Amino acid sequence: METEILDVRDYRLPATDNSGSSETAKRFAEHVLRADGFIMVVPEYNHTYPGELKMMLDLLYKEYRGRAVGICG
């Protein structure tokens, strides 16, 4: 088993990028495609996870599809 720590703050996306074609999104997608699953430990704000993570999850849905994901807040 291998683990890797990623911080979405290191992969900031412009709020207007919803195509997934930016270099930042491509770099993050490379990590997603190599993984079998994810455990996300995130801060909780107003009973949900941060907007930056939501943007990344929405943007890279097809890369995450079919993989196990656990989110801890």
DSSP letters spanning 4-73? ----GGGG---TT--SS-SHHHHHHHHHHHH-SEEEEE---BTTB--HHHHHHHHHTHHHHTTSEEEEE-
Residue 56 pLDDT class (50, 70, 90 cuts): confident
pLDDT tens per residue across span 14-39: 666 666 667 888 888 898 899 999 99
What global pTM score does this model have? Answer: 0.70
Q: Which residue has the tokens 């196990």?
A: 68
- Is residue 71 within 8 Å of residue 42, measured between CB atoms? yes
What's the token pair of residue 72?
A: 């801890």
